[in-house]
Structure formats: C-alpha cells, structure tokens
Amino acid sequence: MYRLTNLTLDTTTTYKNKDLVYQALERENAKVKHQEAEGVILVEEMDKKGVVIYQEDIYLPFDGIADSLFLKTGTDIPSERPAKARGFSFLKPSEKKLDQEPIQTEKEELREPLSDTASQVERQQSKFSILKNLWQGMLVLGLLTSLAVAGWTMSLATKQEKVITDLSQQVKALETFQSEAGKLDTFVRYFLPHYYSEQGQLGDFVDSSLNLDNQKGQLQSVILETSSQTAKKTYQLIYVLSIKEGESRSQKRLTVTVKETPSSPHGYQVIAEPKLSNYPK
C-alpha cells in the first residue's frame, strides 16, 4: 500500500499499488506545470500492518515519466533499536576449605614412677603450648584468607558496577538520539530546498560563522540514507539526492552536519559546509 501526502496543500491519499501512484504523480505534475507553480509530495510505502518501510520526497514539476524517475531504488527507513544491555551476575568466590591436619595421637606412654611427677607435668604443659600455637596459627590464617576474599569480591563488584554504569549511559544516549532523529530529518528537509535555490535564504538554517553559498540545480527527490551522533548535541545525516541541471539529471550523496541550537529559529543549525559526492560511487 502507498500513501501520498501533498505537503503544499496538506492533503493525503492512499493507493493499493505502485501503478496508481505513478498515475497520481503524473496528474499532480501536469497540474503544477499548467499552473506554473511548484509543490512537494511525500511518497510512503507501507506494509500490511501500516508501518512505513520506505519514503521519498517528490519535487514538482519534474521532467519525464514518473515510473522511470522515482520509486526505483528504495531505501528503508533507518530504524535504530537500542541494543539490550547484557546483565552481569556477580561471581561468588569459592570458599577455600582449610585442610585440617589430624592431630596425631600420642602414643600411650608407659606409666612412670610417682617420683617422676614433675617431669610428666612439664611434658603436658609442652603439649598444651604446641596445640595452643597451632590453633592460633590456624585462626590467623583463616582471618587473612577471609580478608583477601573480601577485598577481591569488593574489587570485582566495583569494576562490574562501572561497566553497568557505562552501558546505562550508552543506552540513555541512544534513546536520546532516537527521540531527536525525526526532528533532525525534518530540519534538513526544510533546509535543502533553500540550499538548492538561488533565492533561498540560509540565515535561519546556518551558523553565523559559516559562509555558505546556494547550490545550482533543481531537487527532484530526497531520501535519508543514514544518521548518527558524532559529538554531544552534534549529528551527521547523509541523504541521497536526485538533482536536475538543465537537461541532465544526476544522483548525489550529501552529508550534512547539524548541531542542536535552542536559540535558533528551528532549534538546529548547519555548522559545516555540506559534503557532496557521487551516488553510488
């Protein structure tokens, strides 16, 4: 299904197939030529669910037959979907098991005579001292191990928190760009007819520090190819243009750099001279 919107008269009509669209374009073109006027028609192709999958601006009047000029090499409307941030699960450090050394059972000693009681007391005190030192050593080792594991866990948690924060900021920036994409495209589509017109006034569209000259040729169609954010509040949009100069017609790729400027009449300004190249290369 196709939808034609006359941006000059603010009217919209839908058609079932491409042939009907070509017939409507030729009728509108003949009408504009007869009236010696100009006009712009937005052509949109929609799928069965009514979602726009292709769009093209048609500038009237044009020369030639409609079905040989337009709707030939469609460009899908860029749809940027923010990619889903992967979740990170905190790793649980494996607890180290301390091997407990079995206390070697002392062999039963022969009972000594009562006269050696003092010697027996000294040996018992020596055994107790050894066991005490061994127990204290194990406590110190366990404490040091716990502190090391705690420090490693905290360091890992800090790194993962930083990664998650960075991803959240990237997702937020992508969502912001998506919300600006439509406004940017509208601004450039208003700018281009002025840019390709000898009488077009560029003051409201261009930064005051940029000296920009009007271009020769007549716009026949405009298709958005790509859009991206190059810096904070600065965007780059690339369009494919159909331009007529005299009796010749050519396809060009135009790169426009735009910056958000709330104080300007349209909220945006062109801050660099647009770059023109052949399409396709």
Residue 119 confidence (pLDDT) above 80: no
The values of phi and psi at residue 52, to 5°, are -70, 125
Residue 105 confidence (pLDDT) above 70: no
In a domain, 102, yes or no: no
Q: Kindly report the number of other CB atoms within 10 A of residue 237's CB atom.
A: 21
∠ CA 265-267-272, rounded to 5°:
100
In a domain, 28, yes or no: yes
User: What percentage of the chain's residues is helix, strand, coil (to nearest 5)?
Assistant: 35, 25, 35
CATH number of the domain at 166, please.
3.10.450.540
Regarding whether 250 and 177 lie in a shared domain, the answer is: yes
Q: What percent of the chain has pLDDT over 90?
A: 41
In a domain, 13, yes or no: yes
Most confident residue range from 12-16, 60-64, 152-156: 12-16
The values of phi and psi at residue 269, to 5°, are -145, 145
In a domain, 143, yes or no: yes
Instruction: Give the 3-state secondary structure of residue 144.
Output: helix
Please report the pLDDT score of residue 109 as a whole number. Answer: 47
In a domain, 124, yes or no: no
Question: Mean pLDDT over residues 187-207, rounded?
Answer: 91
Please report the pLDDT score of residue 257 as a whole number. Answer: 96
In a domain, 99, yes or no: no
In a domain, 113, yes or no: no
Q: Using pLDDT thresholds of 50, 70 and 90, give the confidence band for residue 255.
A: very high
Residue 148 confidence (pLDDT) above 70: yes
Regarding whether 68 and 140 lie in a shared domain, the answer is: no
Q: Which domain holds residue 70?
A: 1-77
Please report the pLDDT score of residue 93 as a whole number. Answer: 43
Regarding whether 144 and 63 lie in a shared domain, the answer is: no
Please, what is the average pLDDT of the chain?
81
Give all strands (DSSP E) within 169-208, no chain letters: none
Q: Cβ neighbours of residue 14 under 8 Å, at least 6 residues apart? A: 1, 2, 3, 4
Is the Cβ–Cβ distance between 219 and 189 less than 8 Å? Answer: no
Amino acid symbol at 276: L
Please report the pLDDT score of residue 72 as a whole number. Answer: 65
Total number of domains in the chain: 2
In a domain, 222, yes or no: yes
